[in-house]
Amino acid sequence: MHGIIAGQKRGREGGGGQEAANKGIVPKDAGLSISMENPIAIGIIGGGQLGKMIAQEAKRMSLKVVVLDPIYDCPASFVSDDVIVADFKDESAIRKLAAMSDILTYEIELANSTTLKELELENYPVYPSPETLRLIQNKYRQKSFLKENNISVPDFDLIRSRGHLGELCEEYGFPAMLKASENSYDGRGNFLITSSNNIQQAFLTFQGKECILEKFMPFVKEISVMTARNPSGQIESFPVTENIHVNNILDMTIAPARISNKLLAKAQEVAQKTLKALKGAGIFGIEMFVLPDENIVINEIAPRPHNSGHYSIEACSISQFEQHIRAVLDLPLSRPRLLAPAVMLNLLGPETSSGTYRIAGLEELFSIPGLKLHVYGKKISKPRRKLGHITITAEALEEAISNAERARSAVKIIID
């Protein structure tokens, strides 16, 4: 396999680059193996819950995991072999991570795409592609790329001035969504402009930042499709899920999505078309809007495992995290099958307080059939911070939804 080293770890003697890339590479036709003495090492930029769940799957297969995160006791630290404590964009730290790893991936879009591109040019394997990361890090570049590849997105434009914002609002109508182009997620960096009265407030909120205005889509459902691609070009998609957001943060994922078979097929088609256009390998979360006329437009792309794919751990024949590992190692991808209807419910920090916390209501929670609790291990709760999730499987989707509502009532996050 190109780029994976057996028996001698990449960069241990020289810090990565072409010299290290030429040592001990296993040809594709020789096959990939797992050595107990020198296991394949996966470097992950980001040690949050996504990094933790990637690491858990990697450790199940006795792979080595090294994470880079600003917090020494980040969630992934408890299941990783090594932790580098540094900012996601720290060039020297990323190169240190590369020297300790055979392959690099990331669980957060804040990674330094410039440094990763330099490593890729030095023949170091980085997946998904740094160019894909650069595209997705900027909403204007992301939407422009999709539009250029004839993939449907809402009408959008880059804001040039306060006057231009007003003109676009008149063109698109109200409401319209103003978005910071970079460093925004979970609804942070979004401002819904509801009338001409709050155009000025919206403009001042993001003053000095590059922003785009998007035409508001009167969607009937939000859906997503986790889709993976390996470097050999194989693409496989997970079932289409239905997502319910509260205050711009995912609250509940329902699998399968409650939409027609025609729309299910269309969503899968759009997801696969998107992956064919993007470079690199890994798993991608493709978020979409279903419109009243049964058209589908892409909202955003996540070049990593995604919150709406967590249900796959219990409910699918393969989890999104194992599929991601297969993809970045250029192993055959599994075609995911839904084993049972499922609902995933996020556990978020209370709106009005921060601090150390306890998760209570366990007796009632664990009396619910088909329930699995995932606690990420974050030490501090902050308003709307993702602290864990619950997945419930059942024979019927209605039963899973009912039990999820029961779980929501039972679980309590108590700030100490």
Strands 211-215 and 103-106: unpaired
The residues pairing with 82 across neighbouring beta strands, listed in sequence order, are 66
Mean pLDDT of 285-303: 96
Confidence of residue 134 (pLDDT cuts 50, 70, 90): very high
Mean pLDDT of 75-82: 98
CATH class name, domain 155-215? alpha beta
Residue 152 falls in which region: left (phi positive, over 0), alpha (psi -120 to 50) or beta: beta
CATH topology of domain 221-415: D-amino Acid Aminotransferase; Chain A, domain 1 (3.30.470)
- 6 pLDDT more than 80: no
- 4 pLDDT more than 70: no
CATH architecture observed for domain 17-126:
3-Layer(aba) Sandwich (3.40)
- pLDDT of 189: 85
The pTM assigned to this predicted structure is: 0.92
Cis peptide bond prior to 128, omega within 30° of 0: yes
- 307 pLDDT more than 60: yes
Confidence of residue 32 (pLDDT cuts 50, 70, 90): confident
* 143 to 46, 157, 283, 335: CA distances (angstroms): 25, 9, 19, 28
Per-residue model confidence as pLDDT tens digits over 149-206 = 999 999 999 999 999 999 999 999 999 999 999 977 666 789 999 999 999 999 999 9
Average of per-residue pLDDT values in the chain: 92
Mean pLDDT of 381-391: 97
Give the separation between CA 65 and CA 73, rounded to whole angstroms: 15
Mean pLDDT of 227-249: 96
- Domain borders along the chain are 17-126, 155-215, 221-415
Give the separation between CA 152 and CA 35, rounded to whole angstroms: 45
Give the separation between CA 303 and CA 280, rounded to whole angstroms: 10
Confidence of residue 21 (pLDDT cuts 50, 70, 90): very low
Confidence of residue 280 (pLDDT cuts 50, 70, 90): confident
Q: What is the DSSP string of 160-189?
A: -SHHHHHHHHHHH-SSEEEEESSS--TTTT
Give the separation between CA 40 and CA 6, rounded to whole angstroms: 7
Give the separation between CA 150 and CA 167, rounded to whole angstroms: 26
- pLDDT of 26: 44
